[in-house]
Structure 1
């Protein structure tokens, strides 16, 4: 359970100043990461059930791999990652983006990220790539004996479990690392925060939630409060923002709900960076009666196919991956991209975690807001599937996103 008392917020920064509206540092990196997030969600939503992912982690590791790519492999990565920044500016953007993911809020609240690079032999990696990985992306190189895959997996999983406060205890499964693996790059992200306006558990009542299956409902515990919150609504969908308290006041969780049951597909098709910008720029503080179910779930698996759907394919193919910028002989390729994310929302706050790993081997395995009577509260009753986004409020960076199809 999250603790409910406040603390000071401290941002850590590596190699640059935190993004501000005045400097704009990190703005291009945020735009690229968020565009990738919307594309990735567009693929994941085609599956069934709940969805949760941390697109910024996936994007960051592929950005690192891009630094060692050339030819058509590089062009695929640039297009898929929406990356248009060249020269030294790209390093400033990456450093600024990392700054959003380092925070010690204290008193049981955290936003923590980790970046790691395990190598069979350091001489296998080009010095320029190694320097970029360390100084720009913040990956700390560590020696790893991949000839014992089970031991390597245990070591990686142990570090991921530590970084995510045991929310992800068994990240990589058997076969994710093989004796042919030469490098594993990984990132972790952990967030835990209390709501600025907590829900009173005494107000939580059992209700029915309409799932994605027509005519199928299930009993859930619905949290409820009526407060002054930032909200938005039009004739098709509505949104409400739940900010975290003073320990995490730079971050918030936004919930987007179709106005009619069965309307989730229409909302998801229209989900874009422009839509999120519209919501966050036009939402205003108003009285909102909000009902949201408690929920907790995770999602894990290979993202090679999903990323391939975004046009990033050659990097995973032994005969076509042009990654000589990482290692000249033999040229590597990515075996896969593994990702796991978890999310839990209750009356006190939210907790979310994610881990991403990329093993490399030299050979293979709407409309405007509706006008309405402002004396009446906006009713946000999430008793049917909805989308959620956890973001950095100032820059707009999306940390986690997903949908609740069945709490």
Structure 2
């Protein structure tokens, strides 16, 4: 089955480590789960990339706030490996959409080119905002194998839009050990307030397993060094505790302490499509000035310093079945002009709400994460 996946002076060479993205990922997860108990999926690496593109154009307090949320204290002098994926299973695309005849600094475009492989494209937002929106959506759809087709809604682009920064991510990967379709059956999935039936897959194999007093996890190997990790609290009432305490250090500990065991594993098939405006969430996380006329500083994009972020939009899809994982994501930063090994077999039944993470075994970079609540 084919699968898919939709932001100082330095003396030593520095880049952005995957742990920085991990810090951002778990901070964002905590922000999302506070306001949303339903199933969701996001791509931390996509959002991080889009915000970093915006940060390259920011100055003073605006830049400082974005850097803090990205868990870095300065712009590094080396591109991060994950800005251009080396995995054949993950394709990444970046684009910068500019208002026709709208001039921005060459130094900003050079900075984008230094860190990213990106296209610079033109659109006529001021006269044809809807046509421009459809044009960007078409580019995103093409970059995500048509999984993310309508990230930008009619009101997201206006005549005042001058710049849209886009990151798109496409993932295609099979399980190293596929589930047997003949063993998939309708099974109980236990919610806090009842039980539902879900098509549930089953596999017996040696798997990467971890458990402590609060949770247990299983990591399923995908092609090209990717891992799909399921984190299952020991009870539904433990979910809030696990979500509150799970961070990149804990996640790294889980992966480092995991061992191969014979496991009797079952998990529902998953099909998610999640869209969200991240503006309010980013404000809660500490990015304030970038959204405020009169305070936003994007002087590294234009000397006139007349730009403000109107929204940061994100959409991710995830489809998981017996053969592998299909996922896609896209993030758009819309910028407008201001108005002014043991033998014993383990049992792992993911038959209640759980957290899932798709990461790269080479560097633990988190590409996708979310929660499945049934």
SS in 2 for 1:190: strand
2:237 paired with 1:237: no
Equivalent residue for 1:131?
Answer: 110
Report if the CA contact (8 A) 1:91-1:136 is conserved. no
- The Cα offsets for residues 44-81 of structure 1, whole Å up to 9 and x where unpaired, read as 11112001100111111211221222221121112111
Is residue 2:145 matched to residue 1:177?
A: no
Indicate if the aligned counterparts of 1:134 and 1:141 stay in contact, CA closer than 8 A: no
8 Å CA contact 2:261, 2:344 repeated in 1: no
Are the counterparts in 1 of residues 67 and 74 from structure 2 also a CA contact under 8 Å?
Answer: no
Which of these residues, 360, 364, 371, is aligned with residue 403 of structure 1? 371
Q: Where does 1:65-214 land on structure 2 (aligned, <5 Å)?
A: 65-86=54-75, 90-94=76-80, 96-99=81-84, 101-104=85-88, 110-121=89-100, 123-146=102-125, 147-211=127-191, 214=192
In structure 2, the residue matched to 1:57 is 46
Between the aligned partners of 1:215 and 1:78, the Cα distance in structure 2 is: 41
Q: 1:1-400 maps to which residues of 2 (within 5 A)?
A: 1-2=1-2, 26=15, 28-46=16-34, 47-86=36-75, 90-94=76-80, 96-99=81-84, 101-104=85-88, 110-121=89-100, 123-146=102-125, 147-211=127-191, 214-244=192-222, 248-364=223-339, 374-400=342-368
User: TM-score w.r.t. structure 2 length?
Assistant: 0.93
Q: 2 CA distance for matches of 1:330 and 1:62?
A: 18
Mapped contact 1:237–1:267 kept (Cα < 8 A): yes
**CA-atom RMSD in angstroms:** 1.8
CA contact (8 A) 2:204 2:264 kept: yes
Q: 2:87, 2:224 within 8 Å by CA — same for their partners in 1?
A: no
The structural deviation recorded for 1:136 is 1.9
Q: Which has the higher strand share?
A: 2
Measure the CA separation in 2 of the matches of 1:285 and 1:258.
20
**C-alpha contact 1:330 1:362 (8 A) present in aligned 2:** no
Cα deviations across residues 283-302 of structure 1 (Å, max 9, x unaligned)? 01111111100010111021
Higher relative contact order, chain-length normalized (CA < 8 Å, sep 6+): 2
Does the residue aligned with 2:231 lie in a helix, a strand or coil? Answer: strand
Distance in 1, Cα, partners of 2:335 & 2:129: 14
Tell me the CA shift for residue 364 of structure 1.
5.0
User: 2 CA distance for matches of 1:153 and 1:268?
Assistant: 36
TM-superposed CA distance for 1:315, in Å, is 0.5
Q: TM-score, normalised by structure 1?
A: 0.85
1:215 Cα offset (Å): 2.8
String of CA shifts for 1:13-52, please: whole Å, max 9, x gaps. xxxxxxxxxxx985x3312111111100010111120011
Shift of 1:135: 2.7
> How far did residue 267 of structure 1 move?
1.2
The total of aligned residue pairs comes to: 363
Q: Equivalent residue of 2:298, what SS? A: coil
Q: What are structure 2's unaligned runs of at least 5 residues?
A: 4-12
Give the CA deviation at 1:122: 5.7
